[in-house]
Amino acid sequence: MKDATRVALVLDAGGARSAYQVGALEVLLPALAERSGRPSLLVGTSAGALLTGALSATAHLVPDDQIARLNSMLGQTTKQNVMRPLWRQVPEVLVRYTSETLGLSSFRLRGLFGSQPLAQTLATSIDWEALHRNVEDGVIESAAVTATSVRTGRVIVFTESSSSVPRSAPEYHGRFVATRLGVPHLMASAAIPVLFPSVHIDEPAEAAGWYVDGATRRRAPLAPALELGADRVVVVGTGGLRPPDADLGLDRVAVDLGDGGATLLGAVMDDPLRHDLRRLAEINALTEDPELAPILERHRAARGRSAYRTVPYIAIAPDDGEELARTAMHVFRANHGSLLRTLGDPDLQVMHRLLGSDSPLQGELLSYLLFDPDFFAAASAFGRRDAQRWVEQHPDLWRTEAQNH
């Protein structure tokens, strides 16, 4: 008999850092299958949306086979299978930029790096018919990916589900849209603004338009899973669970374009998840307080909302948010720093120089774009380590209270 407890798996944004999530899932998926039941609600944003697609298509497999498929997909997402070589697209970028400068709207520049290879990779590496079949057969209840509308800034949760999708949720500036998921939905969710082209989605017609990365405007990464009815939430992120230690001396170091980019990515990729986990723990504490819980329930009822409930969670993310950045910098220097390597593949070196190669935050920026097997291996090992630590510290896997850092 199927467990009535709905477990949601939330995979947040991270670019190339998603290898960390794959490593964590190697530990979590077997542990969940053995102790608590496998996730039936899958929610992904940006790179997490790509993993959500792969996991939804393999949900009918045993965890070991599911992990093997996930690692196979990760192995295919190297740079040549994600973005076009920079030298091949420079002429097009220049022409499109000139067109916009002259006010010619029919030939717009929508991103610096062409992402056509990623679309081809997703089309062949994900078994889309298996994904649809798993939803239809009830192996999973819902697969959802988050994207951001370019013009209106709405957060749209494209959801393939065996049941009706929830109503709009204005508290997190978004709404659910029922659809049959495909490559465009995942591409839209992962289209980091400026770096990658915005993506046009045609279906469903009610949500047709141009979209970019789902992390751009979402403020509550856990909200879609809770709105879908999750009783328990497993979240795997790639940003630090605690803010970096304050180093006032760094504030006096001159900054450049790369620093601005790294700061922006950190703000949209890391901070919302950290804050949302803290909020979930605070609400759990209120619902478990016998004096405060009735007051809170009346307050929610007066607003026409259902009562808050205690939601146990698993949260895996780097404790040291700079570990991945340091590793990315090390791998970059080892694999892309020499003249010979630069001549063979100049893209990362050129980007590194353009964005300020001596920046203290350069590793942070590179860690989102370093689609390198060595970086994948290191990041995946970090994910396995952190997930294993959680499993060892939480014998029944779950907790409700805030984490101490």
Say if pTM beats, i.e. exceeds, 0.85: yes
Identify the CA nearest to 239 among candidates 203, 260, 263, 208.
Answer: 263
Residue pointed to by tokens 């409700």? 400
204 prior amide bond cis, ω within 30: yes
Structure token digits, residue 195? 């770096």
One digit per residue, the tens of pLDDT, for the chain of length 405 reads: 345 789 999 999 888 999 999 999 999 999 999 987 899 999 999 999 999 999 999 999 999 999 999 999 998 888 778 876 665 665 565 655 555 555 555 555 555 677 788 999 999 999 999 999 999 999 999 999 999 998 888 899 999 999 989 876 555 567 899 999 999 999 999 988 877 888 999 999 999 999 999 888 888 899 999 999 999 999 999 988 776 666 666 666 666 666 666 676 666 666 788 889 999 999 998 888 888 878 888 877 777 777 788 999 999 999 887 899 899 988 888 887 666 666 556 666 666 555 555 565 677 878 888 888 999 999 999 999 999 999 999 999 999 998 765
Q: Residue 180 corresponds to which tokens in the numbers above?
A: 């049959």
Q: Are strands 199-201 and 174-178 parallel, antiparallel or unpaired?
A: unpaired
Query: What pLDDT does 1 receive?
Result: 32
**Strands 142-149, 155-161: parallel, antiparallel or unpaired by DSSP?**
antiparallel
Could you give the CA distance from residue 53 to residue 185 in angstroms, rounded to a whole number? Answer: 10
Please count the other Cβ atoms lying within 10 Å of the Cβ belonging to residue 372.
22
Q: How many CA atoms lie within 13 A of 181 on its CB side?
A: 40
Cα gap 53→48, rounded to integer Å: 9
Encoded amino acid at 261, one letter: G
Given the structure tokens 């973005």, which residue do they identify? 83
* Residue 229 in tokens: 């009815």
pLDDT attached to residue 357: 56
Written as one letter, the residue type at 378 is A
From the list 155, 199, 162, 198, the residue with the least C-alpha distance to 180 is: 162
The CATH class of 7-241+261-321+374-393 is alpha beta
Find out whether 348 and 86 touch, Cβ atoms under 8 Å: no
Residues designated as active site: 46, 213
- The domain locations on the chain are 7-241+261-321+374-393
Cβ atoms within 10 Å, residue 303: 6
Determine the Cα–Cα distance for residues 214 and 189; give it in Å rounded to an integer: 5
